[in-house]
Structure 1
């Protein structure tokens, strides 16, 4: 399973916003500069994340964006769903989709909800606050933290997933 670049960038952008929370007004341009995400993409993400209720935007002098809730109360599943819609490993996990040629005879489809739920639950168990601490402290059970990347040469990536 791979995240789209947009979902990947959303996690990176939200992590940057969480690290900066309260220190200065945040704008899409500043977040783009800090993360290496292209400016138009950062602006699109800020809009999507605000529409999903994860960021709050204010206009005027001293305006910008801020997290809608504390970083510990925002999870990775919410961020991905703000950009991609509901997490669905296969098309048949999407409610209302009936475009599979094996529908009706597939022995696995009735069980995919369990798998899909487990993946979503795993992502929901990772808070945005977890991604704001040093990698050695942010290790996920059973895995190791990814090696730090050079901001100037690396493409932003959440848990090594890119597309």
Structure 2
């Protein structure tokens, strides 16, 4: 089963919460209380998202955290990468020669195709999309990916 880490999941929840009022600055305590995630965890996630320039911190009496860009300009793939690093299902889909079988593997290109499809899907969804009601179906086309794989 493919799963995001809890921290990546929390990061999407926190960023989506902020995307509802993107101009607003939130304290970590406000976010923790609103989204019902422990304060130390929220602080850790916000630190990662700050390093990735998804959030920015503001000091002072009215300081806190706010989105660094418009919700339409922040993709879910960027949030996941901020917490987990590059998106890849297998070692070979991230870099060559990380696997003992890489020299003799005849399916590596197919893993790359699958990895690219997942990454593309995650790059298609923005924070602005996350705060809208969910569509009944989300069509994903893999055509066009094959030409870029090998």
Normalised by the length of structure 1, the TM-score is 0.78
Greater helix proportion: 2
Unmatched 5+ stretches in structure 2? 141-150
What is the DSSP-based 3-state SS (H/G/I as helix, E as strand, rest coil) of the residue aligned with 2:57?
strand
State yes or no: 1:11 paired with 2:8: no
Q: CA deviation at 1:126?
A: 0.4
Aligned residues: 139
5+ long unaligned stretches in structure 1: 144-163
- Corresponding residue of 1:141: 138
Instruction: Deviation per CA, 1:4-59: give whole Å up to 9, x if none.
Output: 1111111001001111323x430111111111111111000100001001001110
CA distance in 2, matches of 1:97, 1:7: 27
CA distance in structure 2 between the aligned counterparts of 1:97 and 1:45, rounded to whole angstroms: 31
Distance 1:50 1:6 in 2: 14
- The runs of at least 4 aligned residues of structure 1 exceeding 4 Å deviation read none
Task: Report the alpha carbon displacement of residue 91 of structure 1 after superposing the two structures with TM.
Answer: 1.5
Looking at structure 2, the residues matched to 110 and 61 of structure 1 have their Cα atoms a distance apart, in angstroms, of 53
Higher relative contact order (CA 8 A, sep 6+): 1
TM-score between both structures, scaled by the size of structure 2: 0.85
In structure 2, the CA distance between the partners of 1:53 and 1:119, relative to structure 1 (3 Å rule), is same
Equivalent residues in 2 for 1:1-163 (5 A)?
1-22=2-23, 24-95=24-95, 98=98, 100-135=99-134, 138-142=135-139
Provide the alpha-carbon RMSD of the alignment: 1.8
